[in-house]
Structure 1
Amino acid sequence: MTARIRVVSYNIHSFKDDPHALAAVVADLAPDVLVVQEGARRFRWRQKNAALADRLRMVVGGGGLWSLGNLVLTTLRVRVLETRDVRFPLVPGHHMRGAVFATCAVPGAQFVVTGSHLSTDAAVRPTQAAAWRAEMRGYELPVIAAGDLNAEPADPTWAAVADGLRIAGTAPTHPASGPRRAIDGVFVDKRIEVSRFQVVSSEATLRASDHLPIAVDLVIPD
C-alpha cells in the first residue's frame, strides 16, 4: 500500500501580515500537513498557535515554544502518534534555534515530518543543519523535512540537511514581493516519491507573508 499526501512548508513571518490572506493561501493549497516557521513561541504561544490552526481549519500536531516557533499543523485525515521538540546548542550572541518532529499516520502509511528554521549566520547554519539531520537518523520511518534554511542551495547548509535525503525541488521563495532567493526547502526520504513540487505565488501570498509557500505532493510507501 501507499499513501498520497500534500505537505506545505511556510514561514508565516511571526503573524505580522494579513491573517485573512494567509488563511486563503492555505485553504487554496489544502495541505494534509502544514509545516510552519515563525509560529508563536512566547507569551500565550499555545493560544496563538491554536487560534492559527482554527483559522486555517487544521489542528496543532506539535511544536511551539519548545521547538522555538516551529510548528506542525494537520488535517483530521492525519493522526499524530508522537511529537518531539529539539533545541540546537546555543551559540552565544545568536538566537536559540530548534526543530519539531511529529510521527504521523494516514491510511496506508506512517511517516515522520520535521520542521526547522536555521540561523542567518553562515558560520552557525551548517552545524545546526547537521544536528537537525542527525536527529532525523533516529527514525526508521520515512522522513519529510521542511524549513527555512536562510541559505540557498549552493550553501553547505543544504548539503548537510540533504545528506541521504532527496531535495524535493528548488525555486526562489523570498521575498514574496519579488522572490530572488531559494532559502526554503523540503527534503524527503529516498523511499518517498515526489509527484509535484511548486512554489506558490498569487495576489494573496503577497499579503500573507514575506515568504512564498512550498507545496509538495508525495507518495509514501507502507
Structure 2
Amino acid sequence: MDAHQIDIIRLAWSREFGLPDRALSESGVRSVRVDDTANRILFVRIAGAAALVAPGWAVERAADHTDDELADGRTLLTVAKGHAGRSPGPVELGWAADFGKDVAVEEPLVSHESAHVIELQGLCPPDDVAEAGLAEKRNWFTVLDEAHHPLASAGYTEWQGIVADMGALTAPSARRHGYGSTAARLATNDALDAGLIPQWRAHRDNVASRRLATRLDYEELGTFVSIAVAPGTV
C-alpha cells in the first residue's frame, strides 16, 4: 500500500468511528472519542495510528495501556471488567492495492445471484457463515459446479463510500481446490475496478482466511477490537 491509499483507509475508519477525517493521520498517536451512551468499546490501529471510542470510564482505564496492549484483545477485556465485557477477539485488517491476474480455476462458471449464496451458506458451519457475512454483502461472485451447485463465493459492500468490505466462503467439501481464491480474486478485482480499496477482515485465529488473503496480495496493516459492555460497577 502506498501512503495515499493508507490515508484513504484511515479516512474511512475515522468516519466509521465518528472522528474528524484526519484523526488517524499520524502514526504513534491515539485519537479518542468519549461516548457515555455507547454499549461497545471500539479500538482500531492502522499503520501505527490508533483510535478508541468508549464510555468515559473505559477511556480512563485504557489510558494506562499502550496501543500494542489494547490490540491484543485481552487488555480491553480487562478494561471492561465489571461491565460484562464480551468480545469475539481481535480482527486483523488487510487491504489490496492492485489487480491480480492469477486465477486458480480457469474459465469458472460464475453466478451473481443471491440464491446461490444462500444455498452455499447452508452447506457451511455457522461460524464460517458469520465471519464471511455474505448475506449482508452484494456484488457476489459464486463459483458453481457443472450442476450449478455453489462451491465458493465472495462478495463485498461499499463501506464509507471508499472501501469495499469483503467476505468469502467455501463449502467444506470444495476446499483446497482453488474455488475460494478464484471467487475472492474476482470480487477483489471487481472492487478495484469500481474505484474502491478492498478490505479483508479475519479473526486473528482464523488462519485459513488470513492465508487466503495473503495469497490474494492483501497486506495486513491493522487490527480492530470490539468489546460489548453493559452498565456495571466502575
Q: Indicate the TM-score class for this superposition, using the shorter chain for normalisation.
A: 0.3 to 0.5
| TM, length-normalised to structure 1 | 0.35
The structure with more helix, counted as a fraction of residues: 2
| TM, length-normalised to structure 2 | 0.34
Computing the radius of gyration from Cα coordinates, the structure with the larger value is 2
